[in-house]
């Protein structure tokens, strides 16, 4: 089936007179892990709340396995497992009681299934303890368990690595990859920390001020066109040179020049800078390409 697991069609949300989400459209096929990143206040959580039906759409539609969340809520939401913001559970109940509570709300979740999920997320030891005594990492796991109970075809995880230690993050990452590959689940992961989710995503969508400003494949991107920082003196002369010879418009940053160019151009740029008596102290290639692109795209963290 070529049907997208989830499709957002020109989704808009206005609260009061303020347009929070300004027309989001994207779709995610089965088995894909989609990273949804953006600074705080960009509209990630609002979008997620609309996907799961906690907030109504002002305009547009969200189709989950072809069912509209607006007109066919029950069918649509059945396919969704989610954590929205923090994984909040009933603190006075044990982990198992919490899971049973949610299991009763969906048909077909057996006790065996509950134990299967508990085992999957590695919470067997603590499952009979009260959630009030759980650490944030344990609650995060329980949150994922709760989302998986009814075998959803779309999993939505809001900041899933929050509060996890590095080992926990690696484990969650493996779970997520496994779910996507083995069970063909479409997964949406939101985060404001790109570095944490970069490794588990197939695609990343960047949202800023309620608009999706870029969708980027992870791993498949060209590594040639990168940002370079050159510490060079004098700056004006070097800037002029880059402008004239390479049609590059560099940015001055902490006494460095930053610009984007092809990898092949680098030796020739250095050569001509040296030939024109510019002193080069160091040349850096920006690391973590996505991280830089992210900041480049987002610019400063301004909430409109």
Partner 1 sequence: MSRMLKLIQNEQAKIYIRKSSWVMYIILAAILIGFVFIQKNFADLNTEYQNDDWRQVLEDKNKKLEKEMKKDEFAAEINPLTIAKNNYYLENDIQPEPYDAWQFTKDAVLMVSSLAGLFTIIIAAGIVANEFNWGTIKLLLIRPISRSSILLSKYISILLFALYTLIFGLIFSWILGAIFFGVNGLNPSIVAETANGFKELAVVPQIFINYGYQLVGLVVMATFAFTISAVFRNGSLAIGVAIFLMMGSSTIVSFFLDKEWAKYILFVHTDLSQYAEGNEPMIEGMTLGFSITVLFVYYVIFMLLSWIVFTKRDVAGQ
Residues in contact with partner 1 by the rule CB under 8 A: 15, 45, 49, 52-56, 73-75, 77-78, 80, 82-86, 88-93, 97, 101-102, 104-107, 146
Minimum distance from CB of 235 to partner 1 (Å)? 45
Minimum distance from CB of 100 to partner 1 (Å)? 9
Cβ-based nearer residue to partner 1, 92 or 281: 92
Nearest to 225 by CA among 269, 250, 249, 261: 261
Minimum distance from CB of 98 to partner 1 (Å)? 9
Minimum distance from CB of 28 to partner 1 (Å)? 18
The Cα 282–Cα 94 span in angstroms is 57
Rg (CA), the chain: 23
Handedness of CA 244, 249, 251, 257 (dihedral sign): negative
Strand order in the sheet with 279-285: 251-253, 256-262, 225-233, 279-285
Query: Strand 6-15 and strand 80-83: pairing?
Result: unpaired
Cβ-based nearer residue to partner 1, 73 or 295: 73
111-120 vs 95-103: helix crossing angle, rounded to 10: 130
Q: Are 232 and 238 in contact (CB under 8 A)?
A: yes
Minimum distance from CB of 41 to partner 1 (Å)? 11
Cβ-based nearer residue to partner 1, 87 or 205: 87
Cβ-based nearer residue to partner 1, 158 or 198: 158
Cβ-based nearer residue to partner 1, 154 or 232: 154
Tell me the three-class secondary structure of 54-118, residue by residue: CCCCCEEEEEECCEECCCCHHHHHHCEEEECCCCCCCCCCEHHHHHHHHHCCCCCCCHHHHHHHH
Minimum distance from CB of 61 to partner 1 (Å)? 17
Cβ-based nearer residue to partner 1, 88 or 116: 88
């Amino acid at each position: 089936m070529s049907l997208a697991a989830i499709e957002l069609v020109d989704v808009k949300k206005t609260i009061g007179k303020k347009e929070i989400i300004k027309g989001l459209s994207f779709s995610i096929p089965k088995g894909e892990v989609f990273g949804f990143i953006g600074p705080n206040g960009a509209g990630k959580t609002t979008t997620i709340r609309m996907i799961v039906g906690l907030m109504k759409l002002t305009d547009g539609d969200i189709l989950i396995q072809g069912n509209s969340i607006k007109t066919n809520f029950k069918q649509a939401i059945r396919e969704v497992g989610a954590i929205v913001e923090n994984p909040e559970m009933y603190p006075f109940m044990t982990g198992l009681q919490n899971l049973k509570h949610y299991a009763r709300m969906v048909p077909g979740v057996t006790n065996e299934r509950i134990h299967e999920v508990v085992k999957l997320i590695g919470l067997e030891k603590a499952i009979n303890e009260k959630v009030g005594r759980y650490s944030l990492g344990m609650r995060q796991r329980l949150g994922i368990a709760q989302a998986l109970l009814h075998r959803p075809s779309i999993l939505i995880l809001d900041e899933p690595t929050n509060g996890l230690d590095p080992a926990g993050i690696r484990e969650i990452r493996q779970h997520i990859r496994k779910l996507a590959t083995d069970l063909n689940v479409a997964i949406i992961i939101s985060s404001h920390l790109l570095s944490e989710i970069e490794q588990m995503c197939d695609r990343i969508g960047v949202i800023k001020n309620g608009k999706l400003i870029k969708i980027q494949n992870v791993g498949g991107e060209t590594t040639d066109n990168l940002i370079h920082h050159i510490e060079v003196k004098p700056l004006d002369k070097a800037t002029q040179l880059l402008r004239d010879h390479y049609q590059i418009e560099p940015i001055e940053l902490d006494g460095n020049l930053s610009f984007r160019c092809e990898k092949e151009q680098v030796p020739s740029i250095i050569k001509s800078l040296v030939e024109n008596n510019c002193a080069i102290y160091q040349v850096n290639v920006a690391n973590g390409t996505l991280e830089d692109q992210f900041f480049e795209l987002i610019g400063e963290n301004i909430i409109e």
